[in-house]
């Protein structure tokens, strides 16, 4: 895989030019893209900035994120060939930093659940997950050092886990959502994919203009709470083994580990996620639903049909439950610095018929708290665990994840 | 003026058809628009739904709100002729309710401070206020029974006060922002203009799907806290007289009135508004700034220049101050049901060189709480007072405002 930090180190030392770094991506795309299908389109001769803290970093942009120089098709025939006027705020930010956002990556239609045709680079017979399918697959295939995804349920952390790469879903609204197609405004969160945790930590700190997010070490040995999410179901044995392995590695690296039972308010919040999401999706996609219902895909269409029955009262009640969940979660973080749990119920499902389940991600998206996926080494398709921290404590989540990632590799 | 409630009553009784109601708007536009200049464009033969709870209600749409059947120009030459793909969520909602969103109203460029050419229908030598200039002016001129605006500082309540009409800026995100051009995502709030408070209360309850917002009477005599906002400056004598008049009217109608000093945390929050707004505006308008700086208007351009110097640290600190302000405001609402204060420093300024000051609105926008403008009868250009309630308590704000409006008219 291409590493943001390695590329930047080589560019800073003069061993590599920004052009040379982007050429590595173009070569890898020529080699791997036919078998993976991670890209909607890319520019063969992108404009490459000579300088900037992310100069030479090729970035894949999920195709629900507006680009002024490439169509943005939302994964849907309704938007075939649609050319937005302006870059999304995050794309403008990347360009200002010298990065090269020259490729649009596949997305489930409107970042929903209907699968793409993208294949998992670790095994083409399996899904890469979704909805940020192309972004995860492109990084995992070594085509891009960095890609943008969005998470409303589990669309960043889950595909990262399935593809065996690092990802961060930062605190809600740390990254600007202007120009990103909305599914649910209370949930949609931009995230970053990269080869390793230090790569996404470095990229996030630069993009967000917050150097403290890029700590090479946690401030003191982290107190880690190991959590199951019984309300979300039981992960399979392999996922539980990966979680246990990550926990032991963390302890060996000096972290303190304790089993932690989540309060009931969080189980209730988990159950409220769908109501918040779907009541907002019905409004966010109202034009598409009213004018193009027949062109809406087989999973999203009925989801929106059902959403028409959700009342404002249901929604307000769900929002109150979420609010109580956030308060309860604050108390949890009085006891521990971060939480550690599985990123997905297991390995990437076989076939391309489903993008897998977001069950182990939804609660954290609703809580708005930072999540970091760490790939767990092992045989077969990848498994992932996620580190979760308090709202706004993205630096601590990333530092703890780096500690665990390092401990797992030794 | 055209009243939503009157038109709907006549339509429901069969005395008026939806076509007839919209024809009233078209006739008034032919008569008044040349002197006011409130519209960017309108459809001469709009599609008119035969039924629906808002059938026959012509609605003006501020021209930063996407419409699939009319260009959306953001008040800026940068977007001249720009045709969005989809309707904004709020426009879809209006159409689904039978309303007729057939006119785009003038807006300050990107809903900033640079004035439009729109004139105040009460006196063409004065500004109607901004940035929702055309929406306020069109309703005040009797051209439209309803119009949509947005408020980031004071862009709904202030023009309503200057034009002598009612308006509600609801709780943050009660109305969906999808498809509305962003200035500041933590602040931008959709609002409604109408002839009277009962009109905006009725329309808001229908649009938001929350019947409880349309109470004809407050639940019990409201406890009203009369507040100055010393941190925002001193209103002129006429504005203070209007406030005193509204207070006496409320007391005469049975409300209890007490002077209330706002806690220091709210003065601090007031001072943090600009940092939150401008740090976000710089990101929201990054593409325009990078590619079209020369076409950005004389007030917004330097505002964005200055915003480049705001650090993430400044912004995070301002957000924390706002958070503390929201907590302090909750305590205030343990003492009273609603607050009453001026809507603007005074009457609409003369000339079209300035849209007036948002000083008395900014804090409430940052707090995300509902605000309702009540026109205060008197000589000369209009004056307004605003009723403010706790977050989510829009129904109480509207009911108290109706009580005061009624008391003022007797």
- Per-residue pLDDT tens over the stretch A183-208: 999 999 999 999 999 999 999 999 99
Q: Do A89 and B286 touch (CB under 8 A)?
A: yes
Name the token pair of A289.
């639903």
Q: Please identify every stretch of chain B with a pLDDT value under 70, giving residue numbers as ranges.
A: 217-219
Catalytic annotation present for A409: no
The helix or strand, by DSSP H or E, that contains position B105, with its residue range, turns out to be strand B100-105
State the Cα–Cα distance between residues A270 and B53, nearest whole angstrom.
35
From the CA of A92, how many Å to the nearest CA of chain B?
A: 6
Contact status of B173 with chain A (Cβ, < 8 Å):
yes
Among A70, A78, A79, A92, the strongest candidate for a mutation testing the B interface, having the largest count of B CBs within 10 A, is A92
B346 with B381: CB under 8 angstroms?
no
State how far the alpha carbon of B270 is from the alpha carbons of A397, B13, B229, B388, in Å: 32, 47, 9, 15
Beta bridge partners of A190: A150
Q: What is the pLDDT of residues A346-386, one digit of tens each?
A: 999 999 999 999 999 999 999 999 999 999 999 999 999 99
Catalytic annotation present for B85: no
State the Cα–Cα distance between residues A266 and A323, nearest whole angstrom.
10
Contact status of A71 with chain B (Cβ, < 8 Å):
no
A56 with A7: CB under 8 angstroms?
yes
Which residues on B lie below 8 Å from A96 (Cβ)?
286, 290
Higher-confidence position of A403 and A216: A403
Catalytic annotation present for A155: yes
Nearest CB neighbour to A178, from listed B79, B283, B312: B283
Output the pLDDT for position B218: 64
The ipTM is 0.97
Output the pLDDT for position A270: 98
Nearest CB neighbour to A79, from listed B85, B87, B290: B85
Instruction: Show the beta-strand stretches assigned E in B145-299.
Output: 146-151, 166-169, 189-194, 223-226, 256-259
Name the token pair of B339.
């607050």
**Of A212, A145, A147, the residue nearest A174 (C-alpha):** A212
**Of B61, B56, B54, B49, the residue nearest B87 (C-alpha):** B61
Q: Mean pLDDT over all residues of chain A?
A: 97
Given the DSSP bridges, would you call strands A223-226 and A338-342 parallel, antiparallel or unpaired?
parallel
Which residues on A lie below 8 Å from B85 (Cβ)?
79, 82
Sign of the Cα pseudo-torsion (A9, A10, A13, A14, in order): negative
Q: Do B280 and A182 touch (CB under 8 A)?
A: no
- In this structure, which long-range contacts are made by residues A311-315, counting pairs with CB atoms below 8 Å and at least 24 apart in sequence? A311/B209, A312/A279, A312/B208, A312/B209, A312/B210, A313/B210, A314/A275, A314/A279, A315/A275, A315/A276, A315/A279
Contact status of B184 with chain A (Cβ, < 8 Å):
no
Predicted confidence band of residue A218 (pLDDT cuts 50, 70, 90): low
Q: What is the pLDDT of residues A117-161, one digit of tens each?
A: 999 999 999 999 999 999 999 999 999 999 999 999 999 999 999
Output the pLDDT for position B189: 98
Contact status of B79 with chain A (Cβ, < 8 Å):
yes
From the CA of B100, how many Å to the nearest CA of chain A?
A: 15
Give the residue from chain B lying closest to A319, CA to CA: B392
Residue tagged active-site, from B3, B25, B132, B155: B155
Task: Give the whole-number percent of chain A exceeding pLDDT 90.
Answer: 98
Q: Which of residues 269-298 of B touch A (CB under 8 A)?
A: 280, 283-284, 286-288, 290-291
Give the residue from chain B lying closest to A79, CA to CA: B85
Q: Do A176 and B280 touch (CB under 8 A)?
A: yes
Contact status of A309 with chain B (Cβ, < 8 Å):
no
Contact status of B208 with chain A (Cβ, < 8 Å):
yes
From the CA of B74, how many Å to the nearest CA of chain A?
A: 12
Q: Where are the domains of chain B?
A: 4-213
State how far the alpha carbon of A58 is from the alpha carbons of A33, A97, A104, in Å: 15, 12, 11
State the Cα–Cα distance between residues B87 and B107, nearest whole angstrom.
18
Give the residue from chain A lying closest to B316, CA to CA: A392
State the Cα–Cα distance between residues A7 and A55, nearest whole angstrom.
10
Output the pLDDT for position A89: 98
> Is A4-213 in CATH node 2.130.10.10?
no
From the CA of B258, how many Å to the nearest CA of chain A?
A: 31
Q: What is the pLDDT of residues B55-102, one digit of tens each?
A: 999 999 999 999 999 999 999 999 999 999 999 999 999 999 999 999
Predicted confidence band of residue A215 (pLDDT cuts 50, 70, 90): confident
Among B71, B178, B211, the strongest candidate for a mutation testing the A interface, having the largest count of A CBs within 10 A, is B178
**Of B191, B196, B207, the residue nearest B7 (C-alpha):** B196
Given the DSSP bridges, would you call strands B39-42 and B100-105 parallel, antiparallel or unpaired?
antiparallel
């Amino acid at each position: 895989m291409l590493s943001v930090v390695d590329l930047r180190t080589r560019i800073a030392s003069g061993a590599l030019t920004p052009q040379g770094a982007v050429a590595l991506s173009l070569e890898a795309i020529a080699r791997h893209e036919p078998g993976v299908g991670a890209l909607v389109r890319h520019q063969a001769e992108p404009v490459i900035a000579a300088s900037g803290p992310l100069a030479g970093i090729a970035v894949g942009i999920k195709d629900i994120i507006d680009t002024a120089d490439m169509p943005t098709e939302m994964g849907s025939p309704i938007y075939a060939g649609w050319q937005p006027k302006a870059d999304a705020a995050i794309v403008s930010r990347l360009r200002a930093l010298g990065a090269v956002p020259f490729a649009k990556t596949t997305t489930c239609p409107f970042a929903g659940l209907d699968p793409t045709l993208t294949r998992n680079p670790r095994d083409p017979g399996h899904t890469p997950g979704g909805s940020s399918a192309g972004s995860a697959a492109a990084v995992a295939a070594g085509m891009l050092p960095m890609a943008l995804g969005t998470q409303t349920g589990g669309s960043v952390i889950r595909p990262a886990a399935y593809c065996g790469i690092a990802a961060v879903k930062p605190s809600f609204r740390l990254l600007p959502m202007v120009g990103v197609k909305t599914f649910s405004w209370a949930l949609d969160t931009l995230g970053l994919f990269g080869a390793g945790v230090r790569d996404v930590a470095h990229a996030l700190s630069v993009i967000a203009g917050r150097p403290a997010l890029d700590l090479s070490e946690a401030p003191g040995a982290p107190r880690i709470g190991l959590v199951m999410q019984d309300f979300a179901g039981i992960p399979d044995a392999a996922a539980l083994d990966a979680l246990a392995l990550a926990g032991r590695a963390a302890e060996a690296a000096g972290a303190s580990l304790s089993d932690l039972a989540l309060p009931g308010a969080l189980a209730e919040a988990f159950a409220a996620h769908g109501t918040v999401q779907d009541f907002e999706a019905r409004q966010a996609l109202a034009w598409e639903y009213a004018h193009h219902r027949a062109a809406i895909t087989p999973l999203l269409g009925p989801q929106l049909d059902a959403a028409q029955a959700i009342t404002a009262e249901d929604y307000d009640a769900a929002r109150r439950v979420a609010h109580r969940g956030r308060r309860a979660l604050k108390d949890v973080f009085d006891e521990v610095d971060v939480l550690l749990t599985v990123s997905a119920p297991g390995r990437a499902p076989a076939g391309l018929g489903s993008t897998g389940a977001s069950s182990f991600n939804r609660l954290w998206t609703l809580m708005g708290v930072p999540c970091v996926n760490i790939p767990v080494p092992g045989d077969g398709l990848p498994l992932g665990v996620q580190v979760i921290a308090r709202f706004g404590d993205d630096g601590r989540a990333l530092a703890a994840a780096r500690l665990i990632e390092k401990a797992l590799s030794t």
